[in-house]
Structure 1
């Protein structure tokens, strides 16, 4: 609550009253409950990406859907960097900002600016459960907030939960993910590709998440369950890397599981740093400097 008051988040301590506000929830009796009723909620990642791309195009940016294989210093005087894609095309520019998530530690993007080194990132899997519910159940739970619960149940150490959301397929889903339990480390590009290709997460974890949520919302009627997986990249400091490696070459990496909610500010800081050479934040720049480790590529 000290941080809440300092930053003006307007969150409320409802430890003694949450049962009256959210009677459909079943939380531990000794739970401390904080509710951010103003300016809280969730981010729709599809709409967020669309908004970012639209804003970029309004500033004359060109969006290219290509996979980058490496970045090379240019041999021409007209530009500084050549960005080489897997299909063989070369994009030319004066500045490069690498914001490739966990893939930045698995591809030779830096060997011309940091020989035999890659960003020190630990890649962790996350399994996600999607609980398909009826429109009637979604209506019953319409006042349900986004939840972050740091309490264990079964084999799950805690969860984040989104309220009922209508997805593009026309169905209503409750989405939830876990904490550190069931995380797996991935260290190679092949392992990461296999993880994403299977598109199911860990089946045991999916089942445990369902059990956790049915304990959290007694009486919930679930029509079907599906799983998915994603990957988060973590730094040794738990701070992101927002840094310039050399003149005109910057990074914005290591979201530590919080990248989506912070992406606007991370992008703003990184862009100003690479384009203008300016640091505009109360966070000391030294805290966000990139840390390297020997490359195994």
Structure 2
């Protein structure tokens, strides 16, 4: 290593929602720390078309659901801590990303998920919500429909949707303003030197660039088992799953008629979904989005399968027509101009919680958001930043909740 090259105190690998938040928090919590954040920018249209891009993130989107109501007490707490800081992040960065339109949660009356969600709301306290039946829903939102057998919880404060793109941009802007070096590249190798008090970790990028750091935090999502990021003989146990969404284009007039529409999610058997209200996308068009309508699970087993799924940007499949019909069932008199699909990958853990743990004394991992990470990413980033700054657990929840699990090597495919 040449003497003039920078040795960072911490390198964060993965510049998505969690990695960007972790970089910001590390710079703010320890201002004297030299930090870099490495990850590729969103693909250009040319990169999408070329088919050569190998690494992607799941934040290339304008609408992600956020709420305090949750079937999981831990995810509810992490969401609350993040949501309470959204406006401060907007103010500090000058980038707006949060629309507080509320969240409508549906289940069968006396449904198990409904009961657990109410119980969790009572446990953490001060969750702003009210119960609605089908008639109550129609009175407040005349264009929405529910069955008589359904019960709704309307989380009307500290809930709505975030622009994932803008949240990442906001976190990176704040991180950079606090001295973080943001490097647009892909890490392909992490090599830890042993048996030296002043040793460091060598990081090799796809471009050939080399970086050195005293500690490294992997925020690499679905690609955490890819390339040579982990120590020899270790693979993380998680399940990268295909996620498809359908977006229906609406006219501006129709979109504005639903300006007060909340985000929606349902645990009703046979009618499971989440719906984002009409949002204006970068192409200037308004889209209403539905996801989770396909309850079948497709596991992506190799790096190549993950990359190919991202590159597909979703496929118009048989269940896409069913999704359109489900959307029209919930949102009355909907008149889509066009329908498109898009996709991402959700990384699920056996615990249904995220992983935040040290792999070695100098290498940590923060991944496995299990479909819950976007809304909670700021607090998750803070959790990871505190851990990697110390090289050990430093958070007010038990470490064992977030402990890494590893694959048996005969099962390691990624």
Normalising by structure 1, report the TM-score.
0.92
- CA root-mean-square deviation: 1.8
* Alignment partner, residue 185 of structure 2: 66
Return the offset for 1:152.
4.5
Find the counterpart in structure 2 of residue 49 from structure 1.
Answer: 168
Q: Helix, strand or coil: the match of 1:56?
A: helix
Contact 1:127–1:205 (Cα < 8 Å) also in 2: no
**Partner of residue 198 from structure 1, selected from 286, 293, 312:** 312
Say whether 1:12 aligns with 2:130. Answer: yes
Partner of 2:353: 239
Residues 357 and 393 of structure 2 are in contact (CA less than 8 Å); yes or no, is this contact kept in structure 1? no
Compute the displacement of 1:86 (Å): 1.8
Q: What is the CA–CA distance in structure 2 between the aligned matches of 1:60 and 1:125, rounded to whole Å? A: 36
Q: Distance in 2 between matches of 1:108 and 1:151?
A: 42
Residue 210 (structure 2) aligns with: 90
In structure 2, C-alpha distance between the alignment counterparts of 1:243 and 1:225, rounded to whole Å: 41
Tell me what 2:245 maps to.
128
What is the CA distance between 1:270 and its match in structure 2? 0.8
Question: Which digits, 9 at most, give the CA deviation of each residue in 1:206-238, with x for residues without a partner?
Answer: 222111101111211110000011100010111
User: Are the structure 2 counterparts of residues 210 and 172 from structure 1 closer, same or farther at C-alpha, using a change threshold of 3 Å?
Assistant: same
- How do 1:177-188 and structure 2 match up within 5 A? 177-178=291-292, 181-188=295-302
Q: Contact 1:146–1:162 (CA<8 Å) still a contact in 2? A: yes
Q: Which residue of 2 aligns with 1:142?
A: 259
Q: Find the aligned partners of 1:159 and 1:135 in 2 and give their Cα distance.
A: 24
- Report the CA distance between 1:251 and its aligned residue: 0.6
- Measured after TM superposition, the shift of residue 202 of structure 1 is 4.7
Distance 1:222 1:179, change over 3 A: closer
Given that 1:71 and 1:110 are in contact with CA atoms closer than 8 Å, whether structure 2 keeps it comes out as yes
1:164 to 262, 273, 278: 278
Q: Is the 8 A contact 1:105 1:121 kept in 2?
A: no
Q: Which residue of 1 aligns with 2:332?
A: 218
Cα displacement (A) at 1:5: 2.6
SS class of match (1:119): coil
Report Cα offsets for 1:228-275 as digits up to 9, x if no partner.
Answer: 111000101111100111112111010000111111111101110111
- Stretches of structure 1 lacking an aligned partner (at least 5 in a row): none
The counterpart of 2:153, out of the listed 31, 34, 42, is 34
Q: Deviations over 1:22-69 (max 9, x none)?
A: 121111211110001111101111110111101110110011111111
Give 1:77 shift.
7.2
Q: Provide the C-alpha distance between the structure 2 equivalents of 1:277 and 1:271, rounded to a whole number of angstroms.
A: 10
TM-score by length of 2: 0.67
Q: Is the contact made by 2:294 and 2:319 (CA closer than 8 Å) also made in structure 1? A: no
The structural deviation recorded for 1:78 is: 5.9
> Residues 101 and 189 of structure 1: is their aligned pair in 2 closer, same or farther, counting only changes over 3 Å?
same
Query: Cα–Cα, structure 1 residues 77 and 167, in superposed 2: closer, same or farther, change >3 Å?
Result: same
How far does residue 128 in structure 1 lie from its aligned partner after superposition? 0.7
Tell me what 1:105 maps to: 225
- Equivalent position SS for 2:190: strand
- Residue-by-residue CA offset, 1:145-195 (whole Å, 9 max, x unaligned): 000112245xxx511111111111110111111156143110101111111
What's 1:250 paired with? Answer: 364
- Runs of at least 5 residues in structure 2 that lack an aligned partner in the other structure: 1-117
**Hey, what's the Cα distance between the residues in 2 that align with 1:41 and 1:84?**
40
Q: Distance in 1 between matches of 2:120 and 2:396?
A: 15
